[in-house]
Amino acid sequence: MKTDISVLIPTYNRAQELARTLKGMTDAERGGLSVETIVIDNGSTDETKSVVASFADRLRIRYIFESRPGKSRALNTALEEGVLGNIVAFTDDDVDPSREWLVSIASASERWPQHSVFGGRINIRFPIENVPQWAFDPEISRFAFAYHNYASDERVYRDGWMPFGPNFWLRSELLRNGRRFNEAIGPFATGMILGEDTSFLLGLLHEGNEIVFVPDALVTHRIRAEMLELSILYRRAFRRGRGEAHIYGIRDMELLRRSPTAWFLYRRGSIIRYALETFTSFIFSDSERGPLKVTEKMRALGYRVEAIRIAKEMFKRS
């Protein structure tokens, strides 16, 4: 059967969240489109498989099991298994697609025939009424909750902006050259190094693909209660910093090659400095702006810690 859109949803031990997302997929208008939903179960031990099976009479749905941990690995398995639709859309197991999501994806792709990569709008829904004030900070809402509303109209992304993981799509022809997700980063069962979507999209940009923002293609990210805990926010910032070391590379490579001892001493010193600055921001910043300051320091600290780890691995291999 010809498939217009393949929707990829990686998941791990969130059967009930996934059920709600799949319910949203059943309610989404198709406008005559042939749509396949592909759930990639990354080693779940809950009822994920039975939840997927329960939608078989309502959705054209495919279940893939990937036991090796890692969201990036799970997505790569889906990209390598079987034929995908003309358009491949990526989303998460904790979003509510709008009724017009699929139709908007298809119509925007037709309006921009010379472009092959697109991103949509992401709203957020909090689980409680008394949301802490820091959660509304624009930087935090984008970083921690994937809020994304680049513009009010369709346009090409500029100035370093790009889509977020819960809502982007591309023409499947771009995958024929073997473009895949970096399996060194991304969420996995025992932890995470964030940034797999950014790494993937940057690769597409470097290949010369402009990315188009489509505000009408909307999903809503459901925020879980634990995501409003400061400890989770700071941990996420640290993990994002670790991912940036993989995405953007480690700095001062010439010094590292010329004098590894000097490079490691300098980097360890910067870790101590950022650790102290993080502690100072945590203790002395006000409750409104403090979380953002600590987040920025944790992100920088995570980058430096991971840069040292990467450098050590480089020397082991050489």
pLDDT in tens, 220-238: 999 999 999 999 999 999 9
Least confident of 94-103, 112-121, 136-145: 136-145
Residue type, 5: I
Looking at every residue in the chain, the average pLDDT score rounds to: 93
Whether the predicted pLDDT of 283 surpasses 90: no
Same domain, 13 and 85: yes
Structure tokens at 41: 């179960």
Measured CA to CA in angstroms, residue 277 lies from 14, 42, 174, 283, 293 at distances of 36, 37, 43, 10, 10
pLDDT grade for 126, boundaries at 50, 70 and 90: very high
Last residue of a domain, one of 202, 228, 254: 228
Residue range 168-181: mean pLDDT, rounded? 95
pLDDT grade for 187, boundaries at 50, 70 and 90: confident
Q: How many CB atoms lie within 10 A of CB 44?
A: 19
Angle between helices 71-80 and 196-206 (to 10 degrees): 50
Contact between 63 and 82 (Cβ < 8 Å): no
Same domain, 305 and 209: no
pLDDT grade for 183, boundaries at 50, 70 and 90: very high
Same domain, 238 and 160: no
Same domain, 125 and 272: no
Same domain, 248 and 129: no
> 222 has which bridge partners?
125
pLDDT grade for 316, boundaries at 50, 70 and 90: confident
Structural domain of 133:
5-228
pLDDT value of position 1:
67
Same domain, 222 and 272: no
Whether the predicted pLDDT of 219 surpasses 80: yes
Instruction: Report DSSP state, residue 185.
Output: S
Same domain, 181 and 271: no
Stronger pLDDT, 93 or 287, i.e. the higher one:
93
Same domain, 117 and 9: yes
Structure tokens at 138: 């624009």
For residue 25, give the CATH number of its domain.
3.90.550.10
Same domain, 199 and 128: yes
Least confident of 182-186, 269-273, 277-281: 277-281
Same domain, 168 and 301: no
Tokens 């921001």 -> residue = 281
Last residue of a domain, one of 228, 250, 271: 228
Whether the predicted pLDDT of 288 surpasses 70: no
Whether the predicted pLDDT of 190 surpasses 80: no
Burial class (CB in 10 A: 0-12, 13-18, 19+), 178: exposed
Least confident of 200-214, 222-236, 277-291, 300-314: 277-291
Last residue of a domain, one of 228, 249, 264: 228
Same domain, 52 and 116: yes
Contact between 114 and 200 (Cβ < 8 Å): no
Same domain, 60 and 164: yes
Domain count, the chain: 2
